[in-house]
Amino acid sequence: MTVSLRALLGATAFVALTGVAMAETTITVATVNNGDMVRMQGLMDDFNAKHPDIKVEWVTLEENVLRQNVTTDIATGGGQYDVITIGTYEVPIWGKQGWLASLNDLPADYDVDDLLPAIRGGLTVDGNLMASPFYGESSMVMYRKDLMEAAGLTMPDAPTWADIEKAAAAMTDKSKEQYGVCLRGKAGWGENMAFLTATSNSFGARWFDENWNPQFDQPEWKATLDFYLNLMNEYGPPGASNNGFNENLTLFQQGKCGMWIDATVAASFVTGKDSTVADKVGFALAPDNGLGKRGNWLWAWSLAIPSSSDAQDAAKTFIDWATNKDYLALVASKEGWANVPPGTRTSLYSNPEYAKVPFAKMTLDSINAADPTAPTVKPVPYVGVQFVAIPEFQGLGTTVGELFSAALAGQKTADEALAEAQTTVAEEMKAAGYIQ
């Protein structure tokens, strides 16, 4: 009896001693250098107080460098990171590869059902939540209320592309450097092709048919590109083939754009202190053509755990803290409701305080208008609204983006750009084994 008791006491003491030594788990978080994540790092006192047993080390990188580093690490099973920041494009691809740990076992009070369905759907693979969103966005129309009024027009909450063209014509005065519409023209899968792919959905187009055959030789893509080129040539700013998000933001803030159709995140910038037209901006849904799909995209920056992490429990604890409802309340208490990471939770949009933010409702409506699992009018074999969730898309999207940007610059006709897109994409899909 005495021996057994001594053994038990000895074991207890050993556990206690080793528990002290092993109490602290270190996790490495790889993230993007955007405002939301920088703000999170400034709020870590809250996490540290709640979880003194977990030490968080940050690796904060510019977006392109982050993608490269994280992709290399996770593809090789390097195990350098315990939490990674990835986009909606990567989640379904990496999830199917088995590179990500399921988050289905997050605590009950995390309230997965509170995640916006459109965002949650894009982060779920075979019934498993593979990443937790901290920031979500769609796209929408931002327009000058004063110029619309001067033209005798009213912008519908849910405009058609015909409404956009009519408004663009009415607001254009090139002699005053006032352009009816500013849209992305800079080449890249996440630049002009984010806009054009989302727009093409509303025209009934798709990247691939059900058997992965490219569709750029179909009339729906012809209609999309012709409309876009005409709109931009007639009513857009000069040099539009070089303009991406940042360039168009500057133009709009300077009062040179009657309309800008782009990311919902831009709303806080066009109504902020750097905007000369802050008090004159209205918001509307991205346009449609009456076919059942609007021309808006869907994106989220999310936190995920590589399967190679040896600290998955601690990583889940961190993700729970960083993306739950309490975190949104924490940001609001420190920074104000307008700076809360948007686009992730239903409860945020039912909060009466957040409802006072002028772009809150339209952001939510825009996100809900997108369905990444059924993004097009006709059926498709892929997930993604403004992208195709296959590994090859980064290269394909950028190549096609370069062709369409060249068409906008007047270096190619629409027909030439579409024919080259069809040929190039078909060759790449054959080489990758999708088609014969």
- Give the pLDDT mean for 153-163: 98
- The contacts of residue 322 (CB under 8 Å, 6+ apart) are 40, 47, 132, 134, 303
pLDDT in tens, 226-248: 999 999 999 999 999 999 998 99
pLDDT of the residue at 118 = 86
Residues contacting 72, CB < 8 A, separation 6+: 78
Banded model confidence at residue 34, pLDDT cuts 50, 70, 90: confident
* Residue spans in the chain of domains classed CATH 3.40.190.10: 2-137+299-356, 139-298+383-431
> Percentage of residues in the chain with pLDDT exceeding 90?
82
The per-residue pLDDT for range 183-210, each reduced to its tens digit, is: 999 999 989 999 999 999 999 999 999 9
How far apart CA 168 and CA 159 sit, in angstroms, is 13
**DSSP per-residue codes, 28-47:** EEEEE-SHHHHHHHHTHHHH
* Separation of alpha carbons 184 and 194, rounded Å: 9
Give the separation between CA 24 and CA 332, rounded to whole angstroms: 30
Distances in Å between the Cα of 205 and the Cα atoms of 216, 222, 251 are 8, 9, 30
Q: Are 69 and 61 in contact (CB under 8 A)?
A: yes
Radius of gyration of the chain (CA): 24
Separation between Cα atoms, residue 264 and residue 249, nearest integer Å: 12
**Cβ–Cβ under 8 Å, residues 118 and 324:** no
The pLDDT value given to residue 367:
92
Contact 121, 373 (CB under 8 A): yes
Residue 405 CA to residue 333 CA, distance in Å, equals 44
Give the containing element (helix H, strand E) for 253. Answer: helix 245-253
C-alpha dist (Å) from residue 75 to 97, 289, 387: 9, 41, 21
**Tally: H helices and E strands in the chain:** 18, 9
Per-residue confidence (pLDDT) for residue 213, from 0 to 100: 98
Q: How high is the pLDDT of residue 21?
A: 40
Q: Tell me the pLDDT tens digit for each residue of 287-343.
A: 999 999 999 999 999 999 999 999 999 999 999 999 999 999 999 999 889 889 999
Two tokens at 302?
Answer: 């999310």
Distance separating alpha carbons of residues 251 and 128, to the nearest angstrom: 42
Q: Which CATH number among 2.60.120.560, 3.40.50.1820, 3.40.190.10, 3.40.50.1110 corresponds to the domain 2-137+299-356?
A: 3.40.190.10
pLDDT of residue 14 exceeding 50? no
Query: Dmax of the chain from CA atoms?
Result: 99
Residues 180, 164: contact at Cβ < 8 Å? no
Cβ–Cβ under 8 Å, residues 36 and 43: no
Does pLDDT of 115 surpass 90?
A: yes
| Tokens encoding 306 | 């590589």
d(Cα 81, Cα 59) in Å, to the nearest integer? Answer: 9
Q: Is the dihedral of CA 198, 202, 207, 210 positive or negative?
A: positive
Architecture of domain 139-298+383-431: 3-Layer(aba) Sandwich (3.40)
User: pLDDT value at position 144?
Assistant: 98
**Helix 414-431 with 219-235: angle, nearest 10 deg:** 130
- Tokens 């898309």 correspond to what residue? 393
- Cβ neighbours around 396 below 10 Å, total: 22
Structure-token pair, residue 363 = 């952001």
pTM score over 0.75: yes
Q: How far apart are CA 200 and CA 105, in angstroms?
A: 38
Question: Is the pLDDT score of 1 beyond 70?
Answer: no
Q: What angle do CA 384, 306, 55 make, to 5 degrees?
A: 125
CA distances 133 to 95, 103, 255, 270, Å, are 15, 12, 33, 24
Amino acid at 307: S
What is the DSSP code string of 149-174? Answer: HHTT----SS-BHHHHHHHHHHH-BG
Q: Are 372 and 122 in contact (CB under 8 A)?
A: yes
pLDDT of 22 higher than 70: no
Q: Residue 23's pLDDT is what? A: 63
Tell me the average pLDDT across 393-419: 97
The count of other CB atoms within 10 Å of the CB of residue 368 is: 18
DSSP assignment of 181-201: -B---S-STTTHHHHHHHHHH
- The pLDDT tens digits of the residues spanning 45-97 come to 999 999 999 999 999 998 878 888 999 999 999 999 999 999 999 998 999 99
